[in-house]
Structure 1
Amino acid sequence: MDGRRREHDGGDVDDSLALTLGSIYDAAPTPPPSPPPVAAPTLPPSSTPVVFSKLPPVIFVPKLPPSSPLVPHAPPSLLSAPRSTRCRRNSLPPSSPLGSLSTRRRLNNPDASPSLRPRGRGADKANGDEGALLPAPFPWVRADRPALHYTLESLQLKGIMSVEGSATCKHCRVEVPITYDLEAKFREVRDYVAANIHTMDDRAPEQWLRPQLPGCGACGKEACMWPLIPNEKREINWLFLFLGQMLGCCTLDQLKFLCKNTSNHRTGAKNRVLYYAYIEMCRQLEPHGPFNV
């Protein structure tokens, strides 16, 4: 302000001061120009808008190779189903050839009704592999169960008054038939059992273990007629042996067969199993007799 004022007033002093100040400003370096701002790259315009959302992760399952036509595979619905459902679905439907096998058997064999088939262990072996009822070997034996006999009253109503069997001489080997009166021989065994059942102690007496055999009329020998006992246990004439008190001639295995098919205890020595066999035969002929001790 003073210089300018002095310039107006007149003088060179103002000019020298102005020149000095001007030279200082002229000698100062000029700063370089700042670079132009870098523009941010622009993305190309997209026709599809980008939408961000919270979705569950996607699991990619690799594609399996094509299966062979000879090896069946379960559909995906079975693989995702519970185990119990898969077991039910994997079972054969009734319309399949294997599922209708039992139906074809019933149609081809209408006589083999399930209600007539015996139950229990050993029933199929005794009555055949297919479970069909075999004819009774004797008229006093029931067909549905081996070693099971009719009662004394039922046999008398059927007109059966005697029981026949066969015996072979141990000396001359002759085979002769033997006939026992049904009611008389049963009363003989029944009265003995009723009088001694409390003292037997579940053991067969000596006269049952070593029975008194009849004599041979051909050679005249005494106590030599051995009862004919077939190898097939189902064909044994149990009632004939019981009435003649010759059940002791059977082996232990044969006596166990009788007890097995009549639901009796069959373990132990022969005298115990033989006792059960006699008591069982008495119960079959007289179900309400004094034999349940």
Structure 2
Amino acid sequence: MGESPNDLVIITGMSGAGRTEAMHAFEDLGYFCIDNLPASLLGQLLVVTADAGSGLSRKLAVVCDARNKDYFADLDDELDALKGKGIPFRIVFLDADDDKLVARYKASRRRHPLCDEGMTIAQGITAERALLYQLRVMAQDVVNTTDMLPMQLRAKIRELFGEGDEREGLAVTVYSFGFKHGAALDADIVIDVRFLPNPYYDPALKSLTGLDAPVRDFVMYRDETVEFMSHWKSLLDCVMPGYVKEGKQQLAIAVGCTGGQHRSVAIAEATGDYLRTRGYRVSVTHRDLPLAESVQNELTGEAKVHA
């Protein structure tokens, strides 16, 4: 394991307090997550993870809870063993008020893991609190989810364990496309730039793309584009923080023109550059550029044959 106490996180706490939602948040942060692991297997898991050929992430988040009644008693011993070996770990204990836990179980219609025959949900919760008492005392982080929405719990996990600016947790993909090749069906935001003058009709630019400086300059330095980019950047500054606040992990922005070769490519590149300056993690791709390039290759080949 590494030197950071965040390399191994033990997620535990009351049933119904949000362990599954927390695990999903850790997955989004790049942790390798295992749900409902018997405590006795924790040490073996670390041995496997330490094997460079295992392919597992060094950052682990493991859910250990009362569902494994027979194995849960081993957790204290396993944690003591980790301490003895100098392996750092951090315990996140999720809790909620009893009445809220009862209401959540009634709404889900699921059986509480500590409810034996003839027991009520409230009695099961009381038994679970007694079982988990020592872990709650040991926990570095106790998160009460009584009044939390799922997105608020995810935000809390990011606050405690995220690295860098919160905006870096949002993976943004900006891609260009051509409407004549089909709509952008998987995009969260679609912007149509076909209103801009088209370099396609300039013979010197027709065979180039928005990645080439002459086309980029033709598109970006026009008065129409300068005005558009000012409003476009303002729109991005308005909506992007909202996506981050909502806990969105992936965002696709599609920029479309007629063929996906000139205008959309230049604007997509400029959009990606701007979002990077605002602290977002961005990748830029061009969906239909290979189609334009293959057509140009075919035309070039035909010209050579006729010559």
Tell me whether the two structures share a fold, i.e. TM-score over 0.5: no
Name which one, 1 or 2, has greater alpha-carbon Rg: 1
Q: TM-score, normalised by structure 2?
A: 0.27
Q: TM-score, normalised by structure 1?
A: 0.28
Structure having the higher helix fraction is 2
